[in-house]
Structure 1
Amino acid sequence: MASPKFHNTLRQYHRWVGFFLAGIMAVYALSGVLLIFRKTDFLKFEQASYRQLESGLSGKALGEQLRIRGFEVEEDTDGVITFAQGRYNKQSGEAMVLNKDYPFPLNRMVKLHKATTSSPLFIMNIAFGVGLLFFVVSAFLMFLPRALPFKNGLKIAGVGFVFAVLVVLFGS
């Protein structure tokens, strides 16, 4: 059995890592709340971008060039193609596309949540996950196994685990 000194040392590491991860958890919490509203315009603003394309494109060719999800031509006249996200001048080849996105710091937070292995942010996501796993393990190692807080902690953690599994299975 581990000594009380081991448990006290683990408490100290748990506290230090906890303070460090508190800032990271705040960022993840805010970006997680933002992602709940990602299909709405909540906190998003409109921004226009201009792209120079070939002149004289058809509606179908324009959609392929712009690569906009759900692209659909609304109006096609002699000089201009109008679509839901903007317009295209057939003579000049200039396309104006309107996008809605979060302001600078918020869009970076959302990208943090969506990071994949092709993004350098995935290292932070892995480090955060490992830090949380350390919390899970160290929370139980802070108390002696025969102590009442340890036994009650196991029960509460079991209830939390069952709750999380049920929400994941039946919540979506």
Structure 2
Amino acid sequence: MSKISKTFRVYHRYLGFFLAGIMTIYALSGTIMIFRTTDFLKQDKVTEREIGANVPAEELGGKLFIRNLEVLEEDANTITFQQGSYDKTSGVATYTVKELPFVFKKLESLHKATTNSPLYFLNIFFGISLLFFSVSAFFMYTKTNKVLRKGVYVAIAGLVFAAIIVFI
């Protein structure tokens, strides 16, 4: 085995052990993210928010960050919608939102990290590490090894499969 193969094996092995926990967290949070448009694992939370007096019904959804807010009833002092109500005179809206429990909400934030969040450094590190994993796997075997040849075919199949799923 060449020196470069041994070196890649060592880095691959220890980086793999280090990333095992991170990959577990990303796997769990990614699975939870699949269900983000459903109420799976979500709990009701009553929220009271002051948004100012006399906000028109058309602007209420934007002020409360509720998509597709549908007004059910409106009178001189109150606007009632599916999630709650808004008092026009006091400017206070009381409504129910569905939220993930604290731990799952934090896990979900991994996937939503932007450059404004310190978590994006973890995302960059994780992405570069996964890229190293995928490349270093090909340096762990000699060029004449049958495992490497079969591995290249399996990698090409995975690449084609992912491309088909993404573009369909």
TM above 0.5: yes
1:63-120 superposed Cα distances (whole Å, 9 cap, x missing partner): 4433422122111123321112211122322211221110011011112112222322
1:108 to 94, 106, 109: 106
Aligned length: 168
CA distance in 2, matches of 1:160, 1:54: 54
Runs of 4+ in 1 over 6 A off after TM superposition: none
2:120 to 119, 122, 135: 122
1:76 to 67, 71, 74: 74
| Unaligned 5+ runs, structure 1 | none
Paired position in structure 1 for 2:55: 57
Q: Is 1:17 matched up with 2:18?
A: no
CA distance in 2, matches of 1:169, 1:120: 32
- 1:53 deviation in Å? 3.1
CA distance in 1, matches of 2:80, 2:5: 67
1:5-25 superposed Cα distances (whole Å, 9 cap, x missing partner): 321221111010001111111
Paired position in structure 2 for 1:158: 156
The 1:163–1:56 alpha-carbon spacing in structure 2 relative to 1, beyond 3 Å, is closer
1:98 to 96, 99, 104: 96
- Amino acid aligned to 1:13: Y
The 1:62–1:165 alpha-carbon spacing in structure 2 relative to 1, beyond 3 Å, is closer
1:26 to 24, 27, 40: 24
CA distance in 2, matches of 1:14, 1:52: 53
The 1:10–1:102 alpha-carbon spacing in structure 2 relative to 1, beyond 3 Å, is same
Aligned-pair identity (%) = 46
CA distance in 2, matches of 1:89, 1:55: 8
- Amino acid aligned to 1:9: T
The 1:79–1:130 alpha-carbon spacing in structure 2 relative to 1, beyond 3 Å, is same
| Unaligned 5+ runs, structure 2 | none
Secondary structure class of the residue paired with 2:55: coil
TM-score (normalizing by structure 1): 0.89
CA distance in 1, matches of 2:8, 2:128: 16
2:36 to 31, 38, 45: 38
1:93-152 superposed Cα distances (whole Å, 9 cap, x missing partner): 221122111001101111211222232222211111100010011101011112222112
